[in-house]
Structure 1
């Protein structure tokens, strides 16, 4: 990669020290296998611990009632950030936020349990078809973006 088009600051940060810094978080196991865990910019720092949204999303997605999920951090006065999830349930299925948090607690442990779960009919998408976590953060904050 030579750089980002017309973005010299981002190019300098990404190519610092002669390495391409992708922003990915990875783990290497005892056999040397590298697994991409998440993106650095998506890491939720809650109570001084790093929580990777993908790990919480995988736990929630394993629930039989869950069709789609997005996990993101929202401001929290006590924890710094709160693990927050927006969940779309499968048609004809039912699950309460309490059931979903219990499911995550059983699969991952208390650190990964969302402090807030919002049930939604659909997840907002960007123009590229990716889940729009920025929009979900705005919705979770109760911020009115309509200009009213």
Structure 2
């Protein structure tokens, strides 16, 4: 869908692929994340890809996925699911502290789970739906 903006003489595109992004002042489109993966924590939108990009800079992390899990007080809570590199060690505190100062405090993970591997599609994409599934069992309304 195209939308004409007469004040700038430009067309804006409305994507229907469920991507979250923004248009900068020069007209460039930036895709941030998938809307279905967005976490709503305390009324704030948190994009997992933003945190995942930072966590991949941690020396002990081989793979990471950030998901929203149920939280009775805040809607969703932020959980990092981490695969460590062979022979490396890290604690949940290390992981959360690594992100501190690089993102706003409300975007910090509230919990970290260490796993041996992340579920993937045949094409290699992380299956975040499978990661979220056990946490949302028994909930009739999913925030995401």
TM-score in same-fold range (> 0.5):
yes
RMSD: 2.1
| 1:142/1:98 CA distance change after superposition, 3 Å | farther
Higher helix residue share: 1
**What is residue 9 of structure 1 aligned with on the other side?**
none
| Contiguous gaps of at least 5 residues in structure 2 | 1-13, 139-144
2:31 aligned with 1:36, yes or no?
yes
2:115 aligned with 1:81, yes or no?
no
**What is residue 120 of structure 1 aligned with on the other side?**
115
**What is residue 8 of structure 2 aligned with on the other side?**
none
2:122 aligned with 1:130, yes or no?
no
Question: Which aligned pairs between 1:1-148 and structure 2 lie closer than 5 A?
Answer: 20-140=15-135
Shift of 1:133: 1.2
Preserved contact between residue 85 and residue 118 of structure 1 (Cα < 8 Å): yes
Cα separation, 1, equivalents of 2:137 and 2:21: 33
With the length of structure 2 as denominator, give the TM-score of the two structures: 0.78
Structure with larger RCO (C-alpha < 8 A, sep 6+): 2
Shift of 1:112: 1.4
- Matched residues, number: 126
With the length of structure 1 as denominator, give the TM-score of the two structures: 0.76
The list of structure 1 runs, each at least 4 consecutive aligned residues, that deviate by more than 6 angstroms after superposition, is none
